[in-house]
């Protein structure tokens, strides 16, 4: 299995979109596992423990995700709902590390 960092939209301005993005992330993780990959999605993991609305906690989660990303062998960008500002920042970071980036479409919910 290769280590795959998942990038997908997550932060939403309304509760319905937030639920949709969480469900989409689950679908992306299952898609990656179906490809015999070992996915990690820091934005889905750290937001369970840290408050994404508190700037310091959000930054801490982003930094922790970047630390994990440094050992990734592939970045999978799940883009059915577009590429958010946060996803763009992640992609820019991984390009510096020369980690291959693959855009994936798996269908909207």
> Please, which pLDDT band fits residue 9 given cuts at 50, 70 and 90?
very high
Q: How many domains is the chain built from?
A: 1
76: domain CATH number is 3.40.50
* Residue span of the structural domain in which 91 resides: 3-104
Question: Band of the pLDDT at 70, cuts 50, 70, 90?
Answer: confident
Task: Evaluate whether residue 46 is within a structural domain.
Answer: yes
Compute the distance between CA of residue 105 and CA of residue 98 in angstroms, rounded to an integer. Answer: 22
Instruction: Give the pTM.
Output: 0.91
Residue 5: strand, helix, or coil: strand
Report if residue 109 sits inside a domain: no
For residue range 45-63, list pLDDT tens digits in order.
Answer: 999 999 988 999 989 998 9
Whether residue 33 lies inside any domain: the answer is: yes
Alpha helices per DSSP H over the chain: 15-34, 42-49, 55-69, 85-96
């Amino acid at each position: 299995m290769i280590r795959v960092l998942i990038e997908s939209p997550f932060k939403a301005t309304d509760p319905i979109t937030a639920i949709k993005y969480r469900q989409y992330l689950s679908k992306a993780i299952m898609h990656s596992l179906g490809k015999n990959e070992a996915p990690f999605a820091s934005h889905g993991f750290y937001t369970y423990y840290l408050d994404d609305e508190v700037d310091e906690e959000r930054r801490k989660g982003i930094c922790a995700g970047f630390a994990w990303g440094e050992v990734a062998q592939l970045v999978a960008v799940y883009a059915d709902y577009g590429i958010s500002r946060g996803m763009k920042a992640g992609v820019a970071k991984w390009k510096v590390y020369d980690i291959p980036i693959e855009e994936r479409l798996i269908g909207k919910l």
